[in-house]
Amino acid sequence: MFDAKKVKDECVEWIRDFFEKNGKGCNAVIGISGGKDSSIAAALCVEALGKERVIGVLMPQGEQHDIDKAFLLVNHLDIKYYVVNIKDAVDGIIANMPEGLEITTQTKQNIPPRIRMSTLYAVSQSCNGRVCNTCNLSEDWVGYSTRYGDSVGDFSPMSFLTVTEVKEIGRVLGLPDELVDKVPIDGLCGKTDEENLGFTYAELDVYIRTGKIEDKEKKAIIDKKHTANLFKLQLMPSFKPEF
C-alpha cells in the first residue's frame, strides 16, 4: 500500500539534504506549466526549503491557453516567479535553419522544451539556483520526455514515483484539485499524453508496479517504448581508451 504522507515527508527531507550538500543556501528553480508535475514538484520544494527559496519560471510559447493554471499555482504557493516567452527564440531557430534541410515535425515539437531548459538554466545561474527536474517514473518508463529538454535538471524528486503516486502526494500537499487532476497535455502537438501514448497512465502504473496488464497489445506498446527509450535515462556513452 502506497503511503503518500510517508513518501512525501521522505522526499522533502531528501530535497533538504540535496541542497545541504549541493547548494547550501541556493534556490530551487522550476519551470511551471500548470500541470500536476511542476505543481507538485514546486510544492515539495516549498515545504522543504520555504517559499522564499523557490522560484517559478513560466515559459509560454506565444499564447498559452492554460497559463491561468500556472498563475494559480504560483499564487497558491506564494512564490516568486518570472515569465519568459520563448516564441521569438523558437521562431528564430526555425527561421535560421539551413536552406534545403527538411525540418521534421518531431524537430519542431522538441525545440520548445529544449529552449525552455536553456531558459531555466539562464534564470538559475542568475539567481543562485538549482534546476528541479519534474519528470515522473511513468513518463520516464516509456521515454515520454525530450532529451536535453524536460528530461534534465540538477535534482529530481519524482523520478521514482508513478503518475498515480505523484497525484496522491499532490493531495497530501493540499494543492487545488484542478492542478492535481488536470488532464496532461504534452504542450507540443496539442494532444493529451494518453492519446499520444496509446494507453492510460492508470494501466501503465499498474504494469510498472505489478507487471500485470490485461491488454496484450498495450503491453507490447509499453515494452517497445520502454526498451527503445532506456538510453534517455543513462549517462552518455563515452569511449575509454586502455593505456
CA distance 216 to 41: 33
> Do the beta carbons of residue 32 and residue 74 sit within 8 Å?
yes
Only one residue has cell 519528470, namely: 135
pLDDT at 188 over 60: no
In order of their start, the domains of the chain are 4-183 (3.40.50.620)
Mean pLDDT of the 221-229 span: 96
CA distance 124 to 191: 30
- Supply the DSSP string of 99-139, one letter for each residue: TT----HHHHHHHHHHHHHHHHHHHHHHTTEEEBP---HHH
How does residue 195 score in pLDDT terms, banded at 50, 70 and 90? confident
pLDDT at 192 over 60: yes
CA distance 141 to 211: 13
pTM, two decimal places? 0.93
Mean pLDDT of the 96-116 span: 94
Q: What does the pLDDT look like over 1-22, one tens digit per residue?
A: 899 999 999 999 999 999 999 9
User: Which residue type, as a one-letter code, is found at position 202?
Assistant: A
pLDDT at 106 over 60: yes
pLDDT at 189 over 60: no
Q: What does the pLDDT look like over 157-173, one tens digit per residue?
A: 999 999 999 999 999 99
Mean pLDDT of the 113-125 span: 98
The confidence score (pLDDT) of residue 193 equals 77
C-alpha cell at 225: 517504448
